[in-house]
Chain A
Amino acid sequence: MVTGAGGPRRRLLPRGYGFAIAGIAVGMAGLVALGALADRISRFIDGGHRFVLGQISVAGAGLGTGAGFTAGGLLPKRTIDAIRRVPGVALVQAQVMLPLNPSTSELFSVNQELVLGVDLGVPTPNRNYPSFPIAHGRDLAPGDRGRVVVGAELAASRTLRPPASLRIGDRDFEVVGILERLLTAPDRFAIVPIEDARDLWLALDPTVRALYRTGGTLAADDLNTGAAVGWTSGVDPDALAARIRREVAGVNVAAPGEVARQLSASTAFFRWLMVAVAGIGLLIGGLSLSNTVAAATFERIRDFGIKQALGASDGQLLGEVLRESLTVSLAGGVIGTVLAILAGLAIDARAAQAGQQLFLFSGRLVAFAVGFAAALGAVAGVYASVRILRVPPAEAIRRGA
């Protein structure tokens, strides 16, 4: 009596593929992790590009005042008004940008912690960031004083969450909101009303303080390190920047195109690093995967011969190998991706204590990794099968014995 058989079990895979799946998983974990590192760098750079391309940044002529992209000389109110009158200008928002910690924030230009004071009475002119998305709490509102919205990395590094307070200079600010993680510069911003930023600036800079308090012509509205300028629809922002430069005296104008080119030049190292990291990931992961699948297929050369003796056609065998290769590759790809994500999250949990995030596991990356694994696995399996099928069945059985 034949019992317990119940028909052939339709398994996706015969036994013995565990090692192949493990090998693929390791290679794919490496690929996904390196891809996530590359994506993280890419997002940082692209975010910067997106920001500078969304506005014309203007600072006062000269050196030594302020920080970040508004670094330059003082930009008094009359100059801002002059900019506002230039044809093509839609919005001008006065800003004050200062280092959060004057003793250390200037050391790393791409990683500064900055105080950004914004004129809340004027809509943000940046076309690409009309407002920063808020993860917790709320955005600043006109009339706010002594309140701050904090970038995600800055908040994480200081474990801030509303309600909380943040000490800037010698003042405590009420944290009313935390920005979503943008993976670019604003992640390390402390955004405050411009009036508070001016007070901080005066407290920080004895020269400005002296000028302001000597009873001269410098009013509070004149204490701006720069301005963000928006343009009306249809206007070429680079042409408008050139016009502002021509028509308004005493300004340093950063045209979006020029800044983007400078940013590209300054971040070229990181871009190439990203390309190299992604390329190495693809190479290692791809070689590991294709080698494992091909080796697993070549190991079954005797099975090919036996199945041919039983009447299997080339098409049937190729179909079997294709199905098995796809299943093995997908299983290895998915397991490797999960391993990479778990490892990345664990590392990022530690890095978050310093306000950092090293990995970016995007849906695009995961989809690419799994698709790459499946496609390469299928190609490797079919390649190995075609090679085996060139061998006569008798020889295949003999070689595998």
Chain B
Amino acid sequence: MLDVLRGVDVTLTPGEMLAVVGRSGSGKSTLLNLLGCLDRSDGGELWFGDERLTGAGRGSRARFRGRHLGFVFQAYHLIPELTVWENVLLAARYVGRARAEAEEAARKLLQRLGVAARVAHYPPTLSGGEQQRVAFCRAMLNDPAVILADEPTGNLDADNAGVLLAELRARAHDGGSAVLLVTHSAELAHSADRVLTLADGQLTPVGA
């Protein structure tokens, strides 16, 4: 067995944008998957406020992901067989959100991100930047308390990367969400409020 993370202790604060940097294979995505309840750790504890997520059942973890988390992936991970509109609203379906309210929120998000004209299109017909903006809309639909972004600008050009980064900052600073950004880009990390380095399975503040 390989110990990817050892003695990692990290706290995300509402309104904060935290970046975790590290080389490829350092365990950044593993950390993000554990924090996002997409995987289970062999040890340690995970808390959300005063709710202990360690040992929670599959249903509880699913509910937690749907209500409080928003994922932004490097590869967008839109479902190619669904339209942009269906992809975005997928996030509301699983948390039992009222349809009309979710549709209104989806419209606003799609307009804000400049992809409203693409609602009837399928992901493979969109550019990378458009796909990431749609994926961002989907992640933000339920106003998540925590946003977990895994190399979110990795496949984007400078303009699209700038738009996405600005949105993430706005979510943290104006919306009060906690944003965790994992990246190997020092430039991207510098736009965060706090930067941690992940190396040899351990997190250390940059410059420490």
Contacts and interface: CB of A to CB of B under 8 A. Distances in A.
B99 to A, nearest CB: 7
A316 B94 contact: yes
Interface string A363-401: 000000000000000000000000000001111010001
Contacts of A311: 62-63, 65-67, 69, 91, 94-95, 142
A394 B82 contact: no
A396 to B, nearest CB: 9
A306 B82 CA distance: 13
A12 interface: no
Given A5-B107, A394-B39, A395-B39, A308 B62 contact: yes
Contacts of B117: 3
Contacts of A312: 62, 66, 94
Nearest to A9: B86
A143 interface: no
A167 interface: no
Contacts of B82: 14
Interface string B80-102: 11110110011100110001000
Interface in B112-148: 116-117, 119-120, 122, 138, 142
A15 interface: yes
Contacts of B194: none
Contacts of B26: none
Contacts of A316: 94
B75 interface: yes
A392 B39 contact: yes
Interface string A295-309: 000000011011111
B199 interface: no
A313 interface: yes
Query: Which of A15, A310, A314 has its CB near the most chain B CB atoms (within 10 A)?
Result: A310
Contacts of A130: none
Contacts of A303: 79
B62 A314 contact: yes
Range of interface residues on chain A?
20 to 34
Contacts of A15: 81, 122
A14 B79 contact: yes
A348 B59 CA distance: 56
Contacts of B66: 310-312
A313 B99 CA distance: 19
B190 interface: no
Chain A residues touching B, majority SS: loop
A7 B91 contact: no
Interface in A1-42: 1-5, 7-9, 14-16
Contacts of A308: 38, 62, 65
A306 B79 contact: yes
Interface string B137-173: 0100010000000000000000000000000000000
A5 B120 contact: yes
Contacts of B73: 397
Interface string B103-117: 100110011000011
A14 B83 CA distance: 9
A322 to B, nearest CB: 16
Query: Which of A302, A312, A316 has its CB near the most chain B CB atoms (within 10 A)?
Result: A312
Given A309-B38, A311-B67, A14 B81 contact: yes
Given A7-B99, A9-B86, A310 B65 contact: yes
B148 to A, nearest CB: 9
Given A307-B90, A312-B66, A4 B119 contact: yes
Contacts of A16: 80-81
6 contacts: A3-B117, A4-B120, A8-B99, A8-B103, A16-B81, A313-B59
Interface of A: 1-5, 7-9, 14-16, 302-303, 305-316, 392-395, 397, 401
Given A8-B103, A394-B39, 20 more contacts: A1-B111, A1-B116, A2-B107, A5-B119, A8-B99, A14-B79, A14-B81, A14-B82, A15-B81, A16-B81, A308-B62, A309-B36, A310-B66, A311-B63, A311-B65, A313-B59, A313-B63, A314-B58, A314-B62, A401-B77
Q: Which 6 A-B pairs have the closest CB atoms?
A: A311-B66, A14-B81, A394-B38, A394-B33, A311-B94, A15-B81
